[in-house]
Amino acid sequence: MLDYGPDAILMKGLDGSNWRLKDYEARGGYDALKKILRENIAPEAVIAEVKKSGLRGRGGAGFPAGLKWSFMPKQYAGAKYLVCNTDEGEPGTFKDRDIIRYNPHMLIEGMLIGAYATGAGVGYNYIHGEIWAEYELFERALDEAHAAGYLGKNILGTDFSFELHAFHGYGAYVCGEETGLLESVEGKKGQPRFKPPFPASYGLYGKPTTINNTETFAAVPWIINHGGDAFLALGRPNNGGTKIFSVSGHVNRPGNYEVRLGTPFAKLLEMAGGMRGGKRIKAVIPGGSSAPVIPGEIMMQTDLDFDCVAKAGSMLGSGAVIVMDETTCMVRALERLSYFYFEESCGQCTPCREGTGWMYRVVHRIEHGKGRQEDLDLLSNVADNIAGRTICALGDAAAGPVKSFVKHFREEFQYHIDHKRCMVNVPGGYFTVSNPSAGRAA
């Protein structure tokens, strides 16, 4: 049995092989859809229930899901689309992969309810390029749902129809941005669009489109079955429900844990087996690599919900918790993250295209003992000139780590510049983030 923790509601009762339709139905699957169709619940009432639940987007932005659904034009005569974002490539995040490989029908049912509520006739689930086996498995789940009459025309004998297809990406972080993703589905480079107009008015093929994260859709059947109030009560006001946290880095048991929003970080760390080798916690990136880093001692006092993490100076993001212990060189850690944003910038906006490379080169030279006194101010300046000056959030995402690493760990960067080596390391030793013990012995 897969263990996501005692609070799990979405990932409960899964063993890795019981993903099929019959297994899902045995767990009460498709009951929420049946209830809506049987009782002829109005789309507005479905949206109201989701609004009441306090469900906020699980992909990173935390936007209220019910509110997003309500933006879809009701009287629109043409095609409307529903899109699921399973393009999970935010470093540290690996929860949506578990949903589609272990409980794919929960997502399909959530999308069916979303389609019913927003009036969408066709949907796509955009799956991260690097996870092929999961894409194939999801296609098999779609075939099962079709054969059972849950997808297609006149679902379960009603006049509700919905077609759902899987779309396989091919390696581009920026396609996790919703409008970049839509461009990609249209068969183009995944360069994000300027907003407004938002997808609800101009989305896929220029048609009204709702796009949500995998985990967001996956929570919807539970909300319909148990009520928005019950979901809200699992978490905190404005932070309804449970959330799957992906814990990676220097912990004993990296993995996904589903806990109630508002759970103390210290409790999550305990679930993940505590710090590897009993080392001291140095820093945590609480919401995927784009979220500002927080010193460990602050994080240990922080509860995991959107508002508390924001108050602590970061963001809950996708719920990807990257834990770093005392052996981590923060300069080297930032160097790797900066390289990532440089590599993945789509090149459309000058501040991001040029700025991400510039930041990487500066951090790289500090890490390699060639830092200059003025570099820390320069980094801050470049980051400030990217943030808020680009079409999509990738620019902000690239600037955030630079600003927060330098802010919280300035003395380490300064030490690198002054001494041409790492202050974490013993003198003269080579330090790798990945294998601190080797670095220390050298």
Partner 1 sequence: MLSAESLKRIDREIAKFPAEQKQSAVIAALAIAQDEKGWLATETMDFVAQYLGMAPIAVYEVASFYNMYDLAPVGRHKLTVCTNLPCALSGGVDAAEHLKQCLGVGFNETTADGRVTLKQGECMGACGDAPVLLVNNKRMCGSMSNDKLDKLLAELK
Return residues touching partner 1 (CB under 8 A).
79, 88-94, 96-97, 124, 128-133, 165, 167-173, 184-190, 205, 246-250, 254-256, 289, 320, 322-324, 328, 333, 336-337, 340, 343-344, 346, 432-435, 438
Helix (H, G, I), strand (E, B), or coil: what is residue 8?
coil
Q: Is the peptide bond before 264 cis (omega within 30 degrees of 0)?
A: no
For the stretch 431-435, contacts whose Cβ atoms lie closer than 8 Å and that sit 24 or more positions apart, written own/partner, are 431/329, 431/332, 432/332, 433/328, 433/329, 433/332, 433/333, 433/336
Taking the least distance from each CB to partner 1, the nearer of 14 and 323 is 323
Cβ–Cβ < 8 Å for 111, 123: yes
Taking the least distance from each CB to partner 1, the nearer of 36 and 204 is 204
Q: Minimum distance from CB of 421 to partner 1 (Å)?
A: 19
Taking the least distance from each CB to partner 1, the nearer of 47 and 379 is 379
Q: Minimum distance from CB of 378 to partner 1 (Å)?
A: 22
Q: Minimum distance from CB of 412 to partner 1 (Å)?
A: 16
Cβ–Cβ < 8 Å for 83, 209: yes
Cβ–Cβ < 8 Å for 9, 243: no
Taking the least distance from each CB to partner 1, the nearer of 54 and 436 is 436
Helix (H, G, I), strand (E, B), or coil: what is residue 146?
helix
Q: Minimum distance from CB of 133 to partner 1 (Å)?
A: 7
Taking the least distance from each CB to partner 1, the nearer of 77 and 133 is 133
Q: Minimum distance from CB of 327 to partner 1 (Å)?
A: 10
Handedness of CA 63, 69, 70, 71 (dihedral sign): positive
Taking the least distance from each CB to partner 1, the nearer of 242 and 345 is 345
Cβ–Cβ < 8 Å for 289, 243: no
Taking the least distance from each CB to partner 1, the nearer of 234 and 275 is 275
Residue 186, amino acid: E
Q: CB count, 10 Å around CB of 196?
A: 9
- Those residues with Cβ within 8 angstroms of residue 183's Cβ, 6 or more apart along the chain or in another chain: 175, 189, 190, 191, 192, 193
User: Which tokens sit at 336?
Assistant: 């790797």
Q: Minimum distance from CB of 17 to partner 1 (Å)?
A: 18
Taking the least distance from each CB to partner 1, the nearer of 337 and 399 is 337
Taking the least distance from each CB to partner 1, the nearer of 43 and 395 is 395
- Report how far apart, in Å, the C-alpha atoms of 224 and of each of 35, 132, 180 are: 8, 31, 31
Q: Minimum distance from CB of 186 to partner 1 (Å)?
A: 6
Rounded Cα distance between 182 and 188, Å, is: 9
Q: Minimum distance from CB of 279 to partner 1 (Å)?
A: 12
Strand pairing of 320-325 and 242-249? parallel
Measure the CA angle with vertex 399, ends 394 and 402; round to 5°: 140
Q: Minimum distance from CB of 281 to partner 1 (Å)?
A: 13
Residue 8, amino acid: A
